[in-house]
Amino acid sequence: MRPCPSHRIARAVLRAVLSILMLTGLAHAANASVPNPVTSTIPPCLAVCPQADIAYTVVIRDLANNPVNSANVVFDFSGCPNMQLCAPVPSTDYQFLSPTSISTTTNAAGSATIHLEAGGCCANAVKIYANGVLMTDTIYHPLVSVANADQSGDLFVQPNDETLIVAKSASDPTADLNCDGTHDAADNALLLDHLSHFCKSLIDPVEKHTWGQVKIRYR
């Protein structure tokens, strides 16, 4: 005896519902804890002082907006020829993967903070990955810019750095030290707060003309 049309329809609907539930379950399993740029927080401005006294924080989340714990976060500076990273010291809060890339790990809140020790600036070129997924995908997050108190990239913050930052345009992201989206007098003033700062790994900067200042600070 053939099932009546209403039963056939009911079975078809049931099969469709089961298929959707199965696919949804698979998709959920696939997306669980996978970093997703849509829900993650990746500030476009990375402010830096070679003395590691400026923090930068990313928050990594999955598609369901859950924080991703223990995610490996990689910063790739290979597109930044004017930057140089300071040699690591015991207090450095990230690891080197290569001369131009570093990594750190998120906590239970999906958050990872670094205090980058580096000289030099970089416009729209830093890539950030989380567990291998590109966060700076240029759709949801642009490539990150570095605004450094050490504008010249010699690993010291000196008066010439003030000269360099003052000469930059209002829209130059490498001069936006306070990361408010614009370069203005506040950024120039902020640079002065970091005057005479240098890489912690540079113990004996004898060749620098700021040696006197540095020596006093180092005692």
CA proximity to 194, closest of 217, 174, 215, 168 = 217
Indicate whether 136 belongs to the interface with Zn ion (CB under 5 A): no
Residue closer to Zn ion, measured from CB, 74 or 190: 190
Per the CB < 8 A criterion, the answer to whether 42 and 144 are in contact is yes
Per the CB < 8 A criterion, the answer to whether 196 and 217 are in contact is yes
Element containing residue 30 per DSSP (H, E): helix 5-31
Candidates 53, 180, 184, 204: give the one binding Zn ion (CB under 5 A): 53
DSSP one-letter string for 80-128: -TT-EEPPP-TT-SSEEEETTEEEEE--TTSEEEE---EES-EEEEEEE
Applying CB under 5 A, which part among 40-48, 53-61, 123-131, 137-145 lies near Zn ion?
A: 53-61
Contacts (CB under 5 A) with Zn ion, residues 156-185: none
- Compose the 180-209 pattern: x for residues touching Zn ion by CB under 5 A, - for all others: --------------x--x------------
Radius of gyration of the chain (CA): 24
- Total binding residues for Zn ion by CB under 5 A? 5
Indicate whether 49 belongs to the interface with Zn ion (CB under 5 A): yes
Shortest Cβ distance from residue 53 to Zn ion (Å)? 4
Applying CB under 5 A, which part among 19-27, 43-51, 66-74, 206-214 lies near Zn ion?
A: 43-51
Shortest Cβ distance from residue 215 to Zn ion (Å)? 17
Q: Report the 10 Å Cβ neighbour count for 39.
A: 18
Q: Which residues bind Zn ion (CB under 5 A)?
A: 49, 51, 53, 194, 197
